[in-house]
Amino acid sequence: MTCLHAVAELGQIHLVRYVLPKPNLKINAETYSGYTAMEIAFNRGYADVAALLKVSGADRPRPICIIENLDLEEDRTD
């Protein structure tokens, strides 16, 4: 996780503006879980942060599939 991920996750647009012009910033860097700062902001509902990242060159967020109560056990006896 980069500092851009952290401020995007908090939804702090003023901090995103501060971090964006830093040298060597990789706007589409992914966390260990595979999320970009844009995806984090978008999925947390921070539209202003997501829009700023988009106009700053971030890729569009990928769709996320959430599966709840997935049971992968093949031999169920109940």
CATH architecture of residue range(s) 1-78? Alpha Horseshoe (1.25)
Rounded Cα gap, residues 56 and 22, in angstroms? 12
The domain segmentation of the chain, as residue ranges, is 1-78
Q: Of how many residues is the chain composed? A: 78
For the record, the structure tokens of 74 come out as: 């093949």
Please, which pLDDT band fits residue 14 given cuts at 50, 70 and 90?
Answer: very high
pLDDT digits (tens, 9 = 90+) for 19-77: 999 999 999 999 998 899 999 999 899 999 999 999 999 988 776 655 555 555 555 55
- pTM for this structure? 0.76
